[in-house]
Homo-oligomer: A and B are copies of this chain.
Amino acid sequence: MRTINQLQEIINREVDRLDFPIYPADLYEPIKYILALGGKRIRPALLLMSCDMFGGDVQKAVPPALAIEVFHNFTLMHDDIMDNAPLRRGKVTVHEKWNKNVAILSGDVMLVKGYELMMNVDDHLLRPIMNIFNDTAVGVCEGQQIDMGFETRSDVRIDEYINMIRLKTAVVLGGALKIGALIGGSTSEDALLLQTFGEQLGVAFQLQDDILDVYGDPEKFGKQVGGDILSNKKTFLQIKALELADEQQAFDLTRWFSGMQFDPKKKIAAVTGIYDQLNIRHYAWETMHTYAANAFEALDAISLPPAPKQYLRDFADGLMVREN
């Protein structure tokens, strides 16, 4: 079985070789640009890995893996417009380098190119795989819309939040793994179990991200600690804290999250202080571990030899280790 690093290298090489027309340049250049920004290529690599685990031909899984990567970058291109993001992976975003119209339209054609790539599967898998891809794409759009809707709400519940992160980030992991499994020749039961593994693990990862934003080691954590607090972002921690807060704590939290006018250090310290009083870190860990445990339970149930399952478990554990 290939390692995740070997599979990521395959993806990087194949992304470089992806061929787009030259004309019209403002439609296709942005696609090459955003794909060249890099990224860990986790989603397509996991698709290849899941094919490999079931003894499938990894080469046959390359076009669908590229489809997932192109699709993922389409969502980034459109999300960056919606978030008014100036930078993506340290480089200027497409809508800033070109303009918003270019980013809308290049994104649109990327989604179509994703479908084109995804169709490179055997006939008997075409319909099931396209159905998974459709469901994945709908889920991501729903997740993004729900997330945008949260911005103007103060009554978001934990179950709504978890459903949002499941749709926005986890269904793609689950979909990629399921598609790879089917290409690898798995039964539909095993493919479904692997999808569950991916989705539950995706939720756990996102919860971990929420925790690390506040409690992460600034040296290891790639982003500014407290960034979510400063931007008043809805996270598991914020929602849980508002749920558990007494009157005074709720008043204070609401005030801190009411705008951008505060001293950053004071704001982070004050909000983190309330989180600590309410033991929010513990609740977040507990929920994260519940999702990770669900993921591993699904993995255990797959009818594969211990070695490939252990590899996937180690890989997931490795991603979880960066927690503290």
Chain A interface size band reads: 35 or more
> Interface segment, A145-153, A194-202, A253-261, A298-306?
A145-153
Within the assembled complex, what's the spacing in Å between the Cα atoms of A141 and B108? Answer: 7
Which A residues between 35 and 75 are near B, CB-CB below 8 angstroms? none
Instruction: Point out the residues of chain B lying under 8 angstroms from A144, CB to CB.
Output: 105
Cross-chain contact A116 with B134 (CB below 8 angstroms): yes
Cross-chain contact B108 with A26 (CB below 8 angstroms): no
Q: Flag whether A109 is at the interface (Cβ < 8 A).
A: yes
Q: Flag whether A247 is at the interface (Cβ < 8 A).
A: no
Instruction: Point out the residues of chain B lying under 8 angstroms from A102, CB to CB.
Output: 145, 148
| With known contacts A24-B149, A146-B24, A141–B127 Cβ distance under 8 A | no
Instruction: Point out the residues of chain B lying under 8 angstroms from A78, CB to CB.
Output: 104-105, 108
Report A99-123 CB contacts with B as 1/0, cut-off 8 Å: 0111011011101110110010001
Main secondary structure of the interface of A (DSSP, over half): helix
Q: Flag whether A137 is at the interface (Cβ < 8 A).
A: yes
Instruction: Point out the residues of chain B lying under 8 angstroms from A107, CB to CB.
Output: 108
A18 CB to closest chain B CB, in angstroms? Answer: 15
Residue on B nearest A111 in the bound complex, by CB: B111
Q: Flag whether A138 is at the interface (Cβ < 8 A).
A: yes
Which A residues between 257 and 315 are near B, CB-CB below 8 angstroms? none
Q: Flag whether A126 is at the interface (Cβ < 8 A).
A: yes
| With known contacts A24-B149, A119-B131, A149-B26, A82–B111 Cβ distance under 8 A | no
20 further A-B contacts with Cβ under 8 Å, apart from A105-B145, A119-B127, are A23-B142, A24-B142, A24-B145, A24-B146, A26-B148, A26-B149, A82-B104, A100-B100, A102-B145, A105-B141, A105-B144, A107-B108, A108-B111, A109-B137, A109-B138, A109-B142, A111-B112, A112-B134, A119-B131, A119-B134
12 intermolecular pairs with C-beta atoms under 8 Å apart: A27-B142, A81-B101, A82-B104, A105-B148, A109-B141, A112-B138, A115-B115, A116-B134, A119-B130, A119-B134, A126-B126, A130-B130
